[in-house]
A = this chain, B = another copy of it.
Amino acid sequence: MLPYKSLLEIDKNEKTPVYQQLTNQLTDLIRKGVLKPGQKIPGTRQISELLDLHRKTVTRVYFELMVQGWIETIPGSGTFVAKNLPEVKPARLKEGGIISSTRAGFPFENKPFLKRELVRSSDQLHLDDGFPDPRLAPLAELARAYRSNLIRGNSYQKLGYGETKGTLWLRQQLALYLSETRGLKINADNVMIVRGTVMGLYLTNLAFLRPGDTVVTGTSCWSSAIAGFQQAEAEVLTIPVDENGLVVEALEEICRRRPVRMVYVTPHHHYPTTVTLKADRRIQLLNLARQYQFIVFEDDYDYDFHYLSRPLLPLASADDAGVVLYSGSFTKSISPAFRVGYLVAPEEVVEHLSHYRRIIDRQGDNMLENAIAELLQEGVIQKHLRKALKEYRQRRDVFCELLSRRLGDEIEFQVPEGGMSVWAKFDKSIDPGKTAAAALRNGLYFSHGLQHNQQGIELNSTRLGFASSTPEELERCIDVLEKNLCLKGFIS
């Protein structure tokens, strides 16, 4: 053994702490080659006895040296100078520095249905899934309200832990807003704030679905909803969707055969095909839900944007049986980046869901929630919606005129009564996937629409969102689209 007692000089009266002295000196011995790579060094007990140090001090030093990569412990064998010494211990690791590990040291299973294409917003030309134009959003007002809610008031209460259901102010303002605009007969206790529809649906699935439960959706459906039901291990049955929305008669047939736990519906307007669920079917659906006691998850993502004189009120407005869970968000009314949504449900359901929320996401962003409450109370959001609605109606008209004039032979569509996108059915000779890829190479993003084909049904259709582009931008989009149409069977 090396003469450690003389190599290591620890002075307990020095200002530098003992553990630091020992760490530095051992590192020096390794750096200078006195201790060589792979060489065995004494254990912590031996060193502590040799130097008359507390054992804990020495284990701490060894741990630090191990962390820094100077030494290695091999269980059962002892401690060794590392075979691969760190060149120079970097004071600051740069991006792309040494990574401990890229692979997990434990086994796990993949779920292929969770690996879905991620839609991201880009700043090139786009005919997106139906997003709002954030250039119209009241951003300055929102920033102002956010700041004032952050700065003023009692900071301990405001910046500490709050209510999992969301701030009372926003729940109150939403209860009023939804009463006025949607005829919902609710108060704040019927409202739970969530991080958007995705979380609202997840919580509902978590709280109410068990493996094997039957969930019914349209044959065409939002792929994120389907993924959520798959994660919950529900059995998803589909019913047709026609020009009047879900064919509720087909649902009745299912109900007669087996227990249905939940029906997922986007009555206004059906996602992705943009049709409205007509009034008689709404009555029929509610009657079935009451009769068979299933949950109606009403995803009303689009309600604020309708271009007719007046939209049909939501299913939730006519629900006196406590079967509808009504979901909405500010994704369309402000922008997707503000992750604030809401679930409206009977009080005991809200209470129940909030228990689940707690173990997923303790609470929302109080400042943002109160900022939105302030803008609702001041009428800023309502004013923005009136402005946006007018603008989007004009964009819809421009876009539909362009589509039918320039691409009338290639694309079939109905002018949507509301919402932010057109459900475009390509002529059967055209390949939407290839067309989307070719357009992307030429500066236009739109989706190939394959995610709407749940059971591999050949829809040959996609959503073309018009709301987030000005009429000039829409014209440029059509230019690119027209030039990049690809036929099936040909290499694009």
For residue A356, CB closer than 8 A to chain B, the reply is yes
Contact B313 A67 (CB under 8 A): yes
A119 contact set on B, CB distance < 8 A: 161
The chain B residue sitting closest to A75, CB to CB, is: B287
CB-contact partner of A156 in B133, B183, B293, B367, under 8 A:
B133
A348 & B95 in contact (Cβ 8 Å cutoff): no
Question: Is there an interface contact between A63 and B283, defined as CB atoms closer than 8 Å?
Answer: yes
Within 8 A of B (CB), among A320-363: 320-323, 335-339, 345-349, 352, 355-356, 358-363
Cβ of A27 < 8 Å from any Cβ of B? no
Given contacts A155-B134, A198-B362, contact A101 B346 (CB under 8 A): yes
CB contacts (< 8 Å) of A366 on chain B: these are: 337
User: Among the listed B20, B105, B150, which residue makes an inter-chain contact with A143, where contact means beta carbons less than 8 Å apart?
Assistant: B150
Say which residue of B91, B135, B151, B188 sits within 8 Å of A95 (CB atoms): B188
B-side contacts of A289, CB under 8 Å: 105
Query: With a CB–CB cut-off of 8 A, which chain B residues contact A313?
Result: 63-64, 67
B residues less than 8 Å from A346 (CB atoms) = 100-105
Q: Does A121 contact B (CB under 8 A)?
A: yes
Task: Enumerate chain B residues within 8 angstroms of A122, measured Cβ to Cβ.
Answer: 156-157
A13 to chain B, nearest CB (A): 16
- A159, B337: Cβ atoms closer than 8 Å: yes
Interface contact A103-B161, CB-CB below 8 Å = no
Number of copies: 2
A160 and B365 contact, Cβ closer than 8 Å, known pairs A99-B185, A102-B348, A356-B114:
no
Please, could you name 12 A-B residue pairs with CB atoms under 8 Å apart, sorted by A? A63-B312, A68-B183, A75-B287, A93-B175, A106-B208, A106-B261, A106-B293, A110-B352, A114-B355, A120-B160, A158-B337, A161-B336
14 further A-B pairs in the complex, CB-CB below 8 A; given A92-B176, A105-B321, A202-B359:
A56-B278, A59-B280, A63-B282, A64-B313, A73-B283, A99-B347, A100-B316, A102-B348, A118-B358, A123-B156, A134-B155, A155-B335, A339-B361, A360-B360
Residue positions of A touching B, CB distance < 8 A: 17, 20, 44, 56, 59-60, 62-64, 66-68, 73, 75, 91-108, 110-111, 114-116, 118-123, 126, 128, 131, 133-135, 137, 139-140, 142-143, 146-147, 150-151, 154-164, 172, 175-176, 179-180, 183-190, 195-196, 198-199, 202, 207-208, 224, 227-228, 231, 261, 278-280, 282-283, 287, 289-291, 293-295, 309-310, 312-313, 316-323, 335-339, 345-349, 352, 355-356, 358-368, 468
